[in-house]
Amino acid sequence: MSNWFPENVSTFGGDVDSIFWLIFYITTVWFFITEGLIVYFAFRYRRKPGGKAAYVLGDTTVQLAWILVPLAIVVVLDLVIDIRGAEVWAKIKGQPPPADVTVRAMGKQFNWGFTYPGPDGKFGTEDDLQIDNDLHVPVGKVVHVILTSKDVIHSFFLPHARLKQDVVPGREIPAWFQISKPGEYEIPCAELCGFGHSGMNGKLYAHSAEDYEKWHKERWPEGAQQTTTKG
Amino acid sequence: MSSETSHAPLGFWRSHVFSTDHKVIAKQYLSLGLFWALMGGATAYLIRWQIAHPDTEAPGWGFIAPDFYNMLVTMHGTIMVFFVAMPILLAAFGNFLIPLMIGAKDMAFPRLNMLSFWVFFLASVVLMTSFFVPGGAAAAGWTGYPPLSAKMEYTGVGWGMNLWLLALALEFASFLLGGVNFLTTAMNMRAPGLTWFRLPVVVWMQLTAAVIFMLSVGPLIAGAVMLLMDRIIGTTFFLPEGGGEPLLWQHLFWFFGHPEVYVILLPGLGIVLDVISVFSRKPVFAYRPIIYSTIIAGFMSFIVWAHHQFISGINPRLAMPFSITTIIISVPFAFVIFSMIATLWRASITFSAAMLFALGTLGVFIFGGITGIFNGSAPVDIYIHDTYFVVAHFHYTLFSSVFFGGFAGLYFWFPKMFGRMMNEALGKIHFWLTFVFFNSVFIPMHLVGLRGMMRRIANPMQYEFLKPLEPLNQFITLSAILLLLSQLFFVINFFMSLARGKAAERNPWQANTLEWTTTSPPPHENFSTTPTVHRGPYEYSSPESAEDWLPQDQPLNAPRAAAR
């Protein structure tokens, strides 16, 4: 069942997956109990000649207990799922860790426009670099992405990092991730954004430290050595 | 109440077309809903074909361009929710059953009832027209999120989108009229002795659905008018360049949209409870708590809406309260489900076609309820939001209610509606094929979603990480085509039985509720004499009766009414 998901390559992806599996194991048990009872009762209590159903109203405490006790267990398990889930949610969508790298991403029909601040670490200066659809980041560093949209709602989706965030025009929405394994991963748009929605797809290049340094030098040959920026 | 109805025979137009008889209106809703179901099925076929065999010609249709694909997904959702589920589950069953089950001659406002159907008919015409205007039909998803839906330049769709909004507004008006009628009728026209807690569960569920609908639809109508103004006269309610807010629409839409889910779920569950009780020959387990659970779930449905918006850009701190209410709302539904299962315990079960579909609803709905826990968990939703996991989930909940539940109701009440029996063997074949192919469509669809496949993409082969899913998608499409073809067994059975089915007696299933005490089909004004009710609707296998049923209107220690 490990190949149910794309390979996880982010630091918090495992947390998302662990909540998924927590719910999966709890609900699988319930699934087999309930469906099993239906099949068993259907077989066991099928109509037989001369047989008569029991007159059970389910209005006494003892009878209701057969439902209320399982229900109480459901409530407890619901709370377990929520409490465990709240931690993971806060980690991903709450206050992010300080940024090592900050990039701006603008959704536009039908591309991701990425803006890098350049060696000075500031946006809106001459050394800014704009590239459509290619997002270069170092592995193991906290990357902040400031999401904006030029036109309609898009959704910034990194399936391998278990990250998704809608991108809403008129707003700047922050997102962050930290990739744990070098490689190339896709950045599809996950919200219907027009006739070119299908195929709106960027690419995340997660470089090792040396490769990222190399990429940075190629882009800003005379730039300062500073590769980290403050968000 | 229906004082204008006379006993003089009405002409064809008054008795079959512009009729005020709730039974005729129910059949009109049913026919129009089934027609739209064919359209919904056709759009499903084209969607599935394009996903499995992108950019090839769909047999019987042709090439599906990306903008047309967006119209297909938009119209599939719109049609299935608003033009199939609502007219069949609410309007058809509600109209047919409420007066009959409460022992009334007709609805409280028969002419309002007729108006509600013809407003819905107009909505249908408008929606159908929208396919044929320049630019094509609406293509912004059935949820119509602005700015995509608010400006023509973003989709290329012009009047198609305006007509879509107009059709929805008309349909909401129609169902508001219907809801008022349902409530007034049930409040004022119950037969003597028929107290609130002697009403069949299906009536309770219809009424709860009507209340939820009436309370939730207002904000969406306001939203629809604002969106229409953004499109036509250049306001910017939802457009940030003019100071508007795209997320406002999402709040208005889902404040309505989530209660709406229960509007089309509850009547299905009600049908299933009634059918299960009849064919188990056993009272519904925990009747009153079920009704309390339904009402609680109805109220709770108003405070879960933002679970559709966890990652929409709302303040992340809002997510956990909505995640908690969402997971808690599983409790009243779990109660109803457990009660259904408990009803089967020590029963005496006959597996009629209606019962098979009722049990199918139960089995399938449990699966959908369980996958809802994943969606309701905010952190898991970060990953599975807008993927096929969500699509698979809501088909498990809604297909179970609308189609499995709807078919259970049709096989069960067909004799009362049309005075003829349906063919049971064909019905059982229909069930098994539907059950098998439904699951072989939607179980794999969860897996496709977990691999990250997004909703509403026309061509998964444009993505490296989705390419390995091609065989699975082709399997799903093949199963979907077989699922659609399986419905032929129903269509054939329906028309064959209508024309040549065995004549139905008053009470072919030996059921207790009032609709079975009159002829099949019931005459104009339903009952020769108003029935008097002595007990609840589910007194099956009661020790008070020698037989395993005890009609609601039968006085104890008195011979059963001779007329059959």
Judged against a pLDDT cut of 70, whether residue B403 lies above it is answered with yes
DSSP string over B411-429: HHHHHHHHSBPPPHHHHHH
- Closest residue in B to A12 (Cα) is B379
Q: Which residues on B lie below 8 Å from A155 (Cβ)?
A: 311, 386
CA B90 to CA B209: how far, in whole Å?
A: 8
Q: Taking residues B548-561, what's their average pLDDT?
A: 79
Q: What pLDDT does B3 receive?
A: 44
| Cβ pair B246:A197 closer than 8 A | no
Least confident of A128-132, B80-84, B193-197, B554-558: B554-558
Q: What pLDDT does B560 receive?
A: 52
CA A92 to CA A88: how far, in whole Å?
A: 6
Q: Which residues on A lie below 8 Å from B282 (Cβ)?
A: 53-56
Q: Which residues on B lie below 8 Å from A6 (Cβ)?
A: 451-452, 465
| Cβ pair B363:A35 closer than 8 A | yes
Residue ranges covered by each domain of chain A: 2-93, 101-219
Say whether B266 sits in a helix, a strand or coil. Answer: helix
Assess A53–B contact: CB distance below 8 Å, yes or no: yes
In a domain, B541, yes or no: no
In a domain, B12, yes or no: no
The residues, any chain, with a CB within 8 Å of residue B156's CB and separated by 6 or more, are A195, B67, B135, B136, B139
pLDDT band of residue B548 (cuts 50, 70, 90) is: very high
Q: What pLDDT does B559 receive?
A: 52
User: Which residue from A37, A63, A169 is facing B240, i.e. has the nearest CB?
Assistant: A169
B290-311 pLDDT, tens digit per residue, is: 999 999 999 999 999 999 999 9
pLDDT band of residue B558 (cuts 50, 70, 90) is: low
In a domain, B305, yes or no: yes
Return the residue matching tokens 């008054």: B14
The torsion angle over the Cα atoms of residues A37, A42, A43 and A44, rounded to 10 degrees, is 70
Assess A76–B contact: CB distance below 8 Å, yes or no: no
Share of chain B above pLDDT 70, in %: 97
Q: Which two tokens stand for residue B206?
A: 């219809």
Instruction: Give the CATH superfamily of A101-219.
Output: Cupredoxins -  blue copper proteins (2.60.40.420)
CA B125 to CA B127: how far, in whole Å?
A: 5
The residue type found at B130 is S
Judged against a pLDDT cut of 50, whether residue A207 lies above it is answered with yes
| Cβ pair B347:A191 closer than 8 A | no
Assess A153–B contact: CB distance below 8 Å, yes or no: yes
Q: What pLDDT does B9 receive?
A: 67
Q: Which residues on A lie below 8 Å from B320 (Cβ)?
A: 82, 86, 89
pTM for the predicted model, two decimal places = 0.95
Q: Which two tokens stand for residue B340?
A: 């259904």
| Cβ pair B282:A15 closer than 8 A | no
Q: How far apart are the first and last CA of chain B?
A: 28
ipTM of predicted complex: 0.95
B218-240 pLDDT, tens digit per residue, is: 999 999 999 999 999 999 999 99
Task: List % helix, strand, coil for chain B (3-state, nearest 5).
Answer: 70, 0, 30
Arithmetic mean of pLDDT over chain B: 95
CA A171 to CA B146: how far, in whole Å?
A: 14
Q: Which residues on A lie below 8 Å from B280 (Cβ)?
A: 45, 53
pLDDT band of residue B557 (cuts 50, 70, 90) is: low
Residue B310, domain CATH: 1.20.210.10
- Of the candidate CATH numbers 1.10.1740.10, 1.10.287.90, 1.10.10.10, 3.30.565.10, the domain formed by A2-93 belongs to 1.10.287.90
pLDDT band of residue A50 (cuts 50, 70, 90) is: confident
Q: What pLDDT does A85 receive?
A: 94
| Cβ pair A48:B148 closer than 8 A | no
Alpha helices (H) in B501-545, listed in sequence order? none
Judged against a pLDDT cut of 60, whether residue B384 lies above it is answered with yes
Residue-wise over A115-154: b if at least 16 C-beta within 10 A, else e?
bbbbbebebeeebeeeeeeebbbbbbbbbbbbbbbebbbb
In a domain, B559, yes or no: no
Judged against a pLDDT cut of 50, whether residue B563 lies above it is answered with no
User: Which residue from A35, A167, A186 is facing B465, i.e. has the nearest CB?
Assistant: A186
In a domain, B511, yes or no: yes
Query: Which among A141, A162, A135, A156 is positioned nearest to A13, based on CA atoms?
Result: A162
CA B270 to CA B129: how far, in whole Å?
A: 34
Q: Taking residues B501-528, what's their average pLDDT?
A: 96
Q: Taking residues B134-153, what's their average pLDDT?
A: 96
Q: CA–CA distance from B33 to each of B22, B120, B132 (Å)?
A: 16, 10, 21
Say whether A144 sits in a helix, a strand or coil. Answer: strand
- Closest residue in B to A195 (Cα) is B67
Residue B194: Cβ within 10 Å count: 25
Judged against a pLDDT cut of 60, whether residue B522 lies above it is answered with yes
The residue type found at B219 is P
Please give the tally of structural domains in chain B: 1
CA B308 to CA B375: how far, in whole Å?
A: 9
| Cβ pair A58:B141 closer than 8 A | no
| Cβ pair A163:B348 closer than 8 A | no
Q: How far is CA B54 from the centre of its chain?
A: 31
- Closest residue in A to B458 (Cα) is A198
Judged against a pLDDT cut of 60, whether residue A228 lies above it is answered with no
CA A185 to CA A139: how far, in whole Å?
A: 12
Judged against a pLDDT cut of 70, whether residue B562 lies above it is answered with no
Q: What pLDDT does A231 receive?
A: 40
- Among B362, B383, B439, B467, pick the best mutation site for testing chain A contact (most A Cβ within 10 A): B383
pLDDT band of residue B14 (cuts 50, 70, 90) is: confident
| Cβ pair B281:A41 closer than 8 A | no
The torsion angle over the Cα atoms of residues B241, B247, B253 and B257, rounded to 10 degrees, is 160
B412-434 pLDDT, tens digit per residue, is: 999 999 999 999 999 999 999 99
Judged against a pLDDT cut of 80, whether residue A229 lies above it is answered with no
Which residue range forms the structural domain that includes residue B413?
17-517
In a domain, B531, yes or no: no
Q: Which two tokens stand for residue B317?
A: 């701190």
Q: What pLDDT does B4 receive?
A: 47
A68-112 pLDDT, tens digit per residue, is: 999 999 999 999 999 999 999 999 999 999 999 999 999 999 999
Judged against a pLDDT cut of 90, whether residue B323 lies above it is answered with no
The residue type found at B233 is I
B436-492 pLDDT, tens digit per residue, is: 999 999 999 999 999 999 999 999 999 999 999 999 999 999 999 999 999 999 999
| Cβ pair B378:A81 closer than 8 A | no
Return the residue matching tokens 């194991």: A25
User: Which residue from B148, B370, B452 is facing A152, i.e. has the nearest CB?
Assistant: B148
CA B8 to CA B203: how far, in whole Å?
A: 31
Q: What pLDDT does B13 receive?
A: 83
In a domain, B328, yes or no: yes
| Cβ pair A52:B67 closer than 8 A | no
In a domain, B532, yes or no: no
B329-351 pLDDT, tens digit per residue, is: 989 999 999 999 999 999 999 99
Q: How many CB pairs under 8 A join A and B?
A: 284
Residue B289, preceding bond cis, omega within 30 degrees? no
Number of residues in chain A = 231
Say whether A122 sits in a helix, a strand or coil. Answer: coil
Backbone angles phi, psi at A58, to 5 degrees: 70, 35
Is the separation of the CB atoms in B109 and B22 below 8 Å? no
Residue B338: Cβ within 10 Å count: 23
Q: Which two tokens stand for residue B135?
A: 């630019």
DSSP H or E run through B53 = none
